[in-house]
Structure 1
Amino acid sequence: MSATARVRLAQELHDGIAQDLVGLSYFIDALLARDDASIELRQKLRTLRFTISDVLERVRREIYELRVDTTKDELLLAGDMKYELSRVFNELIRNIEEHSHANEITISIGDDGVGGAHLKDGHHGLRGATERISDLGGSLSIESEKPGTHIEISLPWNPR
């Protein structure tokens, strides 16, 4: 298997199965914290939690092994940049959710293109994005002077 394929597989394992196992672990922890769980149920949940932890550790070892001995040049992956950026963004949001204890998040993206981006009649992309962010209680600002465009999103962070 090529280094590129190994790295892509490692990324997919991390962003897919490993994250799903972490999510299951959190769910089981929440069930264990409930006062109405019987002793028998707690024992079964603990067994399941330990099993998931063992599987997660094996997946992490496999991820590590897949990434070993790859050079920086081998890490440059071909493929759909939008897809890869989407996966990165999802991982960053998961990290905020799990670790930050934040009350607000800010997302900023910019480019060095021709500029001129603004809400236009008959064009729904930016308008739809603005409406979605507004529905979430946030704001979206657009600065678009030549050259380039800069968009910033601010949102209250209360995912649970």
Structure 2
Amino acid sequence: MTPTIRVQEGPFDIAAETEALTRGRTDVGGIASFVGVTRADDGLARMVLEHYPGMTERAIGAIVAEAARRWPLTGCTVIHRVGPLVPGEPIVLVLAASAHRAAALEACAFLIDWLKTKAPFWKREEFATGESRWVEARAADDDAAARWSAR
């Protein structure tokens, strides 16, 4: 399996990415997907995501490799956006393909849980008031990722 991993500023096309993942394939029985979207919490005007090019893609690659080690994936796509995003804009796309739905669903959940905690992104929230703040790690995200460590 050769995964698709991209970190980009522009939007992604879910239908086109799904089609690219399955084009010419007969070994895909199920595709699980997750799309993360920017929320408008507490008057958020925009969120700015930063990363270190190269380092971030390598970290995502390691997360995808771990998913492929745990589940029989036939394909995988992870696209994460960076730069300024306004509420309602998609941030991340995860597609996990397998011959069977259970593996695709579990791998997709694993991928997003580990992306939230192990991929090096920095998020700054900017508000209509002119205030801004860096987003701290959340215990709930750590707990979600930790459930996969026991497996």
Normalising by structure 2, what TM-score?
Answer: 0.28
Name whichever structure is richer in strand by fraction: 2
Quick one: higher RCO (CA 8 Å, sep 6+), 1 or 2? 2
Name whichever structure is richer in helix by fraction: 1
Normalising by structure 1, what TM-score?
Answer: 0.26
